[in-house]
Structure formats: C-alpha cells, structure tokens
Amino acid sequence: MSTDGDIRSSARTLLVTHGPEAVTLRAIARELNITAPALYRYYSSRDALIEQIRLDVVADLGQQLSAEATASPDDAAAQLFTLCRGFRSWALTHPREFTLVFASPTGDVGSAKGSVATLRRAGEPFGRIFLTTAGQVLATHQLTMPPAEAVPTELHDDFAAYHNELLDILTASGVDIPQGTLDLGTTYMMIQFWARLYGHVTLEVFGNYPIPMSKPEALFDAMLAELAAEIGLYPA
C-alpha cells in the first residue's frame, strides 16, 4: 500500500524529470499503480500536494545552504556570500525545483506570491537562514546604507510593513540588531540586494542573458563584489 512518502517521492521524481506541470494526481497514481481517488486520503487537491513538495524542496535547500554556510569562515559576511553562491549553484543544478519554488508562472505554485514568501517566512529554512545571516552582517559590520528618504514615496507603506515583519523574523531568530541599524533605508537595500541576486540567477538558469556568456560565474562574482562595495562591506 502506498504511503505519503511514496506519493511525495513520486511527485518529486516527476518534478525533476518533467517539470512542475507534470506533477498531477493522475500521473502519480499511474506511477504508484493505484487509483487517483486513493490519493485524496492524503491530499485534498493537486495544489495541496504541490505545496507540500515546495516545502520539501525549500527544506532541502535550507539544509544544504546551512551546512555550506557553517563550513565557511566564522564571519557573517563570508557566510552571506557563501549562501549567495550556494543558491546560484543549487539553482543551476536543480532548475525544475528552482522553477517550482522561485519561478513558476502562476500564483498557485510560485511566482511573486510564492517566491517572496519563501524568502521572508521565518518558518521556512531558506528564508530563515538567508535573512538571519543578513541580520548578523548588520549586527557585526559597519555598513553604508541609503537613508530612509531613498525609499520611493509610493512604496513607503510597503517597505514599512516589511520592515516590521523583518524585525520580528530577526528577533525570533535570536539576532541582536543594534538600535537604529535596521531602518527603512536598510530594509530597502536588503530587498534590492535580493532582487539583483534573484534576477541574475533566474537569467542564468533559463539561459536569458542578452549575449552569450562563456564565464557566467565571473559575472556573478562581479555582481556580488559590486553589491558589497555599494554597502561598504568590502573594498570595490
């Protein structure tokens, strides 16, 4: 008799082999030699199963990156850039999992709704380790951040809401941020940092660079160096 583990394993295999669109209850039932209605004992819908697979992928990614960061030098900045490089490496070697979690074209599976939540949910391993390490950088390094006035007026309410959420995440993770360090301008820079990192990785995973790139890792490293220099983390 098939178990939840069998179902999730089959779904993950379909995802890796054929992509997110191939993960259907009918296909899983066929793989496990059971009837599709039997799957409803475990999952109420395909969306519920897809959400579980997304959580499984995020957990695996978080565990992998946590191990890589722990193995890097005992410095929050070094660990942050280890996470960035690890995220790129994982995305390139797991393009269909990346698509499911970070680049699905619909709000049901991923897209902005899913990918942003993955970054910021304290309970999800990838978002937790990424934001916690960024918070540790803020707590241990003297950085140059834009003033709160740099946040576009039209986005002020959005960033103010996320700023409060971010403080809650870091507090829950045990990161002690000096008072006044994490203001609206810093929150704005953190989101811009993620947007540039995510955008670069997405272009590379899907082969959408505007020109052929023989050494894409060199461009990625240059982007990280530019981000670091902008906030005074490393010399340019």
Provide the greatest CA pair distance for the chain.
Answer: 61
Residues 199 and 179 in one domain: yes
Which of residues 108 and 75 earns the better pLDDT score? 75
Residues 4 and 105 in one domain: no
Q: What is the pLDDT of residue 122?
A: 45
If one counts every other C-beta atom within 10 angstroms of the C-beta of residue 48, the result is 11
pTM of structure: 0.88
Calculate ∠ Cα 227-235-87, nearest 5°.
35
The answer as to whether 235 is a domain residue is no
Residues 106 and 168 in one domain: yes
Question: What residues make up the domain containing 124?
Answer: 47-230
Cα gap 147→47, rounded to integer Å: 42
The answer as to whether 174 is a domain residue is yes
**CATH number, domain with residue 205:** 1.10.357.10
Which of residues 172 and 218 earns the better pLDDT score? 218
Residues 122 and 199 in one domain: yes
In which residue are the tokens 């899983």 written?
28
Q: What is the pLDDT of residues 181-218, one digit of tens each?
A: 899 999 999 999 999 999 999 999 999 998 988 999 99
Residues 8 and 119 in one domain: no
The answer as to whether 119 is a domain residue is yes
**Would you say the C-alpha torsion 168, 174, 176, 181 has a positive or negative sign?**
negative
Residues 55 and 38 in one domain: no
Q: What is the pLDDT of residue 180?
A: 82
Residues 135 and 206 in one domain: yes
The answer as to whether 225 is a domain residue is yes
The answer as to whether 236 is a domain residue is no
Residues 32 and 59 in one domain: no
Burial code (b: 16+ CB inside 10 Å, e: under 16) for 115-140 equals bbebbbbbebbbbbbbbbbbbbbbee
How far from chain centre, in Å, is Cα 138?
19
Q: What is the pLDDT of residue 174?
A: 85
Residues 51 and 167 in one domain: yes
The answer as to whether 197 is a domain residue is yes
**CATH number, domain with residue 35:** 1.10.10
If one counts every other C-beta atom within 10 angstroms of the C-beta of residue 215, the result is 8
- For the chain, give the mean pLDDT: 87
pLDDT at 105 over 60: no
Q: What is the pLDDT of residue 236?
A: 46
pLDDT at 235 over 70: no
The domain tally of the chain equals 2
The answer as to whether 160 is a domain residue is yes
Res. 18 pLDDT band, cuts 50 70 90:
very high
Residues 161 and 204 in one domain: yes
Residues 74 and 34 in one domain: no
Average pLDDT estimate for 60-86: 90
The answer as to whether 31 is a domain residue is yes
Q: What is the pLDDT of residues 154-165, one digit of tens each?
A: 999 999 988 888
Residues 112 and 171 in one domain: yes
Which of residues 10 and 70 earns the better pLDDT score? 10
pLDDT at 70 over 80: yes
